[in-house]
Amino acid sequence: MNDIVARLKAAAGEKGFSEDPKEIAPHLEEWRSKYQGRSTLLLKPASTKDVAAILGICFETGTPIVPQGGNTGLVGGQIPFHGEVLLSLKWMNRIRGVDKDGMILTAEAGVVLAEAQAAATEAGLMFPLKLGSEGSCTIGGNIATNAGGNHVLRYGMMRSLVMGLEVVMADGRVLEMLRPLAKDNSGYDLKQIFIGSEGTLGVITAANLRLFPRPAETVVAFAAVPSPDAALKLLGHMQRRTGGLLSAFELIPRIAIELVSHHIPRARDPLAAPSPWYVLIEAAGSVAGLKDQVEAALGDAITQNLARDATLAANEAQARTLWHIRESISEAQKREGASIKHDISVPVASIPAFIEKATQAVAAKFPGARPVTFGHLGDGNLHFNFNAPPGQDEGFLAQWDEMQLTVHDIVKEFSGSISAEHGIGAMKRDLLPRYKSSEELDAMRLLKSSFDPKNILNPGKVIPPVRRL
């Protein structure tokens, strides 16, 4: 083992490793403090060549290794639970180039999302991925988790923003696929296999990312709606009236406004009368009069009873204030106390029926649980969360598994997904056999054993073990 460690250290270079428990510690605990890992060796390579050398040694010696980016993942995928070597890509953080005319940014895996956004802005363009964790998460992590966020409605998940990829395979060979081609049907589109693979099939070292023109105008509105059904109809209405220029459509329940107003500084209810539900709407484009268009469409929506009231941000500061409410919901939930969370998706049209059925089922089985259902209605993705009844945090969390089953079984009835954007990691691995067919799981296992035949890449994550009778 000492020999392997010495070889790995040599491959990573003089400054490319740490055995200092103090330096390693922050990499072993994640954002929610839900998981605690252990590892005695942190590798910090600065080039693809170094990553390739490291994986070559791991492959030859059968040494397990866990890739990590910004450590903001919410399902424990980036945590080494069994003393594996930790491979941090954070030191591979160069922007390799921006092609303004081709609208492509080439970034290494460790570039922080906010820095990639800033580089795009500097070039007069935009990189549209927008997450609450953008100050810490990395491009490599965003690709490995196929991150979603607030602009999926218009620009898609990370998968649709990746044009080319550089990947080091489990045996240390490099798949050089940095070819930003909109059209390339020359065989299997291999990069897709690594997007969303959560570090289990290969290590992403760099990517070509799609950039977009910056919209000249961004309009943000906040509307009170009587029900999720009205919100769904309002979504279609606003898409039609803006010619598809919506970039966000977020559902917010009354309780979230109350929690945020109570716990978060500078946040308050933007509308005069309380309403059971709200939506935050963002439209963006470079057409003249977009704001007037949105205002007129909302006026008509009120006449048609799709909305009860609405306010439009008059300037950027007001727009930020409205987004601040939406982006503070998780934090407000945390300050309020314990909560059980589900990151689910169902077909967009099923959202109202799903909310009704699943909320009732939880109310019947877990009396007093307070539903805080919010999220990306336009993508069919809800953060279907429940806060504990006041003062009952501990007993509440003991119901975690049972509530997950109750909710996820209903998600399955609606042909939905038990992980819309956060992934499977360690947290949801053992739920998969209940919700995915054995054929799908077999195909996943086939991929895993082909790309990682010695099971050294992030072992134990995503793929549930085969249970033998």
- Position 416 contacts ligand FAD (CB under 6 A): no
Between the CA of residue 216 and those of 209, 212, 222, 286, what are the distances in Å? 21, 12, 20, 5
Which of the ranges 66-74, 293-301, 357-365, 442-450 carries the binding residues for ligand FAD, by CB under 6 A? 66-74
- Position 131 contacts ligand FAD (CB under 6 A): yes
**Which 80-119 residues touch ligand FAD, going by CB under 6 A?**
89, 109
What amino acid is encoded at 103 in this protein? M
What amino acid is encoded at 75 in this protein? V
**Distance, CA of 142 to CA of 29 (rounded, Å):** 19
- Position 16 contacts ligand FAD (CB under 6 A): no
Among 18, 63, 72, 275, binds ligand FAD (CB under 6 A): 72
| Enclosing H/E stretch for 58 | helix 48-61
Please report where in the chains the tokens 């940095």 appear, as a residue.
178
Contact 121, 130 (CB under 8 A): no
Among 18, 39, 63, 68, binds ligand FAD (CB under 6 A): 68
Classify residue 428 by burial, with Cβ atoms within 10 Å: 0-12, 13-18, 19+. Answer: buried
- Position 64 contacts ligand FAD (CB under 6 A): no
**Distance, CA of 258 to CA of 450 (rounded, Å):** 51
Which of the ranges 54-62, 71-79, 249-257, 441-449 carries the binding residues for ligand FAD, by CB under 6 A? 71-79
- Position 345 contacts ligand FAD (CB under 6 A): no
Counting residues that bind ligand FAD (by CB under 6 A) gives 35
| Enclosing H/E stretch for 312 | strand 309-312
Nearer to ligand FAD, 74 or 221 (CB): 74
Among 41, 147, 153, 177, binds ligand FAD (CB under 6 A): 147
Among 37, 56, 70, 459, binds ligand FAD (CB under 6 A): 70
- Position 51 contacts ligand FAD (CB under 6 A): no
Classify residue 78 by burial, with Cβ atoms within 10 Å: 0-12, 13-18, 19+. Answer: buried
Among 37, 45, 56, 69, binds ligand FAD (CB under 6 A): 69
Among 24, 162, 165, 204, binds ligand FAD (CB under 6 A): 204
- Position 375 contacts ligand FAD (CB under 6 A): no
| Cβ at position 204, least distance to ligand FAD in Å | 4
The CB density around residue 79, as the number of other CB atoms within 10 Å, is 26
- Position 407 contacts ligand FAD (CB under 6 A): no
Contact 250, 374 (CB under 8 A): yes
Nearer to ligand FAD, 199 or 253 (CB): 199
Task: Return the ∠ at Cα 215 (arms to 212 and 220), rounded to 5°.
Answer: 125
When CB distances to ligand FAD are compared, the closest residue is 141
Which token pair is 69?
Answer: 């980016």
Nearer to ligand FAD, 198 or 452 (CB): 198
**Distance, CA of 246 to CA of 248 (rounded, Å):** 6
- Position 206 contacts ligand FAD (CB under 6 A): no
| Cβ at position 424, least distance to ligand FAD in Å | 9
Binding mask 274-313 for ligand FAD (x = CB under 6 A): ----------------------------------------
Which token pair is 440?
Answer: 């799908």
What is the per-residue burial (b if ≥16 Cβ within 10 Å, else e) of 360-378?
Answer: eebeeebeebbbbbbbbbb
Which of the ranges 146-154, 233-241, 346-354, 401-409 carries the binding residues for ligand FAD, by CB under 6 A? 146-154
E runs forming strands in 69-109: 85-88, 95-99, 104-108
**Distance, CA of 467 to CA of 463 (rounded, Å):** 12
- H-type helices in 190-253, by residue range? 191-194, 228-242
Among 45, 56, 67, 196, binds ligand FAD (CB under 6 A): 67
Nearer to ligand FAD, 133 or 373 (CB): 133
Nearer to ligand FAD, 351 or 421 (CB): 421
- H-type helices in 366-437, by residue range? 393-397, 400-413, 432-435
Contact 20, 134 (CB under 8 A): no
Binding mask 30-49 for ligand FAD (x = CB under 6 A): -x------------------
- Position 77 contacts ligand FAD (CB under 6 A): yes
Which of the ranges 42-50, 197-205, 274-282, 354-362 carries the binding residues for ligand FAD, by CB under 6 A? 197-205
What amino acid is encoded at 46 in this protein? A
- Position 198 contacts ligand FAD (CB under 6 A): yes
CA distance between the termini of the chain:
35
Which of the ranges 120-128, 144-152, 213-221, 247-255 carries the binding residues for ligand FAD, by CB under 6 A? 144-152
Nearer to ligand FAD, 68 or 417 (CB): 68
**Distance, CA of 205 to CA of 88 (rounded, Å):** 11
Contact 325, 270 (CB under 8 A): yes
Can you give the binding site for ligand FAD, defined by CB under 6 A?
Answer: 31, 66-74, 77-78, 89, 109, 131-133, 137-138, 140-142, 144-145, 147-149, 198-199, 203-204, 421-422, 425, 458
